[in-house]
Structure 1
Amino acid sequence: FAGTYSCTGAGGTITIDTSNGGAGTYGVTANHGLSVGDTVFLNFTNSRDTTSFNETSTENDLVYTIVSVPDATTFTVTARNAANAAINSDNQVVVFPLKAQPLVRNGTINFLPSTFTMDNTDVELAQTPLNSATVFNYFLPDFKFSGALASQGITTPEFQITAETSAVYQANFLYNGIFNPSNTTGISSFKTGTNALVLNLSPWMGIATNPGLGLGAAPQPTQAWTSNANVSTLIDQFNTLLLAGQLPADAKTAIMNLLGGQIASISTGNPCMISMSGPHGLKSGDSVTITGVTGGSFSSSINATFLITVPAGNTTAFTIPITCNNITNLVLTNSNAGIISYTNATPSTTNIRDRLRTILHLLLTSPDFTIQR
């Protein structure tokens, strides 16, 4: 650390002050943590001969033994008994303690958990980073992947290595990274949860406050980010971060349908009819979990998982194989029906994690993300 010094002359006392680093550096106080008998290497910025007053350059830059320690920012050493021992010049010095300095254990510790040992990914991704077969770019610059992309005039050179098999491999690779390991801390990692490349979703695992990424807070900041009231904003934030805001509206709708949402009404009868506030995108035979329904009378608990039936031509309702006897005191405020199980009033960390990972997986496996990246 930096300091200033004064010297009484050859063979005299050099006093080092670490409360001041020299001209223009006031306010850099450093407790030196040294004791009598400790050694330090002193690098004098400029010292002068005691007789000629010429600069002595590095002649006084030596290891010194500490003679006294008046206080936490001052110590003294004995000057060389020579004509050119250090005396005041611009009196700046750099102190190198030859002992371990005391550690101050406070503040916030951040760490990067990724090991980056991804190894070979030729099978999963049809290519491995830093293991190219050639230094030349063999993608044709005007290549357009046939189908919807080509019809829109989108040029996609990297899609030359895309085929049905490689697309499935890539989707599986992303799934295995996003949905592993099985913790509820918001941490996912590739490959298959091995911490080679870590994804940190923890900013969205709790209450919907501003995650600090310039994206703002959610409509209901007292609820979880994944709540029915906030999940649309959550998807928009991920869309901004991952797809530069290019996610089509119908793709967002498909994600919302998979996640499910609040039930609009329940009709009496057998089978029991569940109506949603908008198109649900479900099909007969889908497994749907219902949670958060209170009141009413049913032949068995309605808060369960069912194989549903979607009436022909109906896009907003489906039936479940139980009887709804009556809807007395029925409350649907915190209800939820969807393929991904979720308890809206008091979601568990597992509920939150699964919704987050589902959204992320659907975004990362979309052609919109692939084109952006």
Structure 2
Amino acid sequence: MPLDAQTLNSLGLPKPPSETRVVVAMSGGVDSSVVAAMLAEEGYDVVGVTLQLYDHGAALAKKGACCAGIDIHDARRVAEQMGFPHYVLDYENIFRDAVIDEFAESYLGGATPVPCIRCNERVKFKDLLGTAKDLDADCMATGHYIQRMLGDHGAELHSAADANRDQSYFLFSTTPEQLDFLRFPLGHLKSKAETRALAAKYGLSVADKPDSQDICFVPDGNYASVIEKLRPGAAEPGEIVHADGRVLGEHRGVIHYTIGQRRGLGIGGLSEPLYVVKLDVDNKRVVVGPKEMLATRKVPVREINWLGDAPFTSQAEWPLSVKVRSTRPPREAVIRPISETEAEVELIVAEEGVSPGQACVFYDPNGSRIFGGGWIWRGY
């Protein structure tokens, strides 16, 4: 029997769960497995989908990676156990074109890219979401730790209840249209222990499976080795130069360095600690200097995805908080729009190690709402 139009199920839709089709993006990890099992137990018409993002053989050789061969196997086992259909989609070409190639080019350009954001933006929340609609799904659910709440103007993006698990930095580019269709059933949980307890309750084999730590196609966090494989000859040597012009030594390739790096520079014996303050790709130079040179207050941002209720350019300034790295807390800032997709962000207190290629995500300074964000694109 259909629900009353005003009666919503747990996913916010005016249908009985049995008549509500939900595509669950299943990585094979404990989070998405719990989402699928939870919704199946509630009686939803669940369809599990796992993306094969790169070659099975290479994936099986790397433990702990998202979307690797063993993860596809684990997702399939959960689907069989809970009694819902499961599909594996070959997204290798899409993933390479939309994520890996840009990652390589950005890194070669001296930036510090965040490929997980591009994967969510261009693969999971674009092509996979389109596939979900093709399957006549009413919504798509994921295991991300973030919250979707309804406000006066529609669906809003909010930080997860567990600040230690919050993934808002990686999901800032989610559009209002995508947010209408997406659901995040784990965002309200207070800890990962609650998720694992649910996995144990459902008897899932992945209940104790370790979390993936690295970028899925970057074994052991070694970015440079991946770039060398993708772009042979990219690691050309050059000079390590002090900001005052002194040549201090030689490096083995700009791709081995990141802004803010101190260790492993190979220029010992100096009286002051030095940090990488600039990567001069054109001249194959790694520029180093004292720590205070890393501090910056003005951050240029482009490709902005704005999630506020009023148009981005309707105000000259937006007093918000921003994150310039995923591991740092939001800091007080003023955002000055230049266009609908560009802005200058001024930090009230200078931050160190702000790097092109990283995201700058906008937060409500007095609440949990995310107002979008953009990409840091060059230094002043």
Task: State TM-score, norm by structure 2.
Answer: 0.24
Higher helix share: 2
Higher strand share: 2
Task: State TM-score, norm by structure 1.
Answer: 0.24
Q: Which has the higher contact order (CA 8 A, sep 6+)?
A: 2
Name the larger-Rg structure.
Answer: 1
